[in-house]
Amino acid sequence: MQAAVIVDTGPIVALLDAGETHHRWAHRHFESLAPQPLTSESVLSEACFQRQLRSRLTFWVTLG
């Protein structure tokens, strides 16, 4: 039996954002995790917030 893996915000953001530097790494490692990784509602909330913040920053930088 494999030990459970606890995942923090960074790898989740990398997994969800294809433009993230570590996206391929996160995708590869999440596929190999068994059983499913553990996380918390706080971590998921932070990951969503960071993705939203990055999207907004990209939008404003693009506008110049």
Q: Which tens digits make up the pLDDT trace of 42-51?
A: 999 898 888 8
Spatial CA neighbour of 51 closest among 13, 20, 23, 15: 13
pLDDT in tens, 8-56: 999 999 998 888 899 999 999 999 888 888 999 999 989 888 888 777 6
Tell me what pLDDT residue 1 has: 65
b/e per residue 43-61 (b: at least 16 CB within 10 A): beebbeebeeeeeeeeeee
pLDDT at 14: 92
Where in the chain are the domains?
Answer: 9-63
Tokens linked to 47:
């990951």
Number of residues in the chain: 64
Contact 50, 13 (CB under 8 A): yes
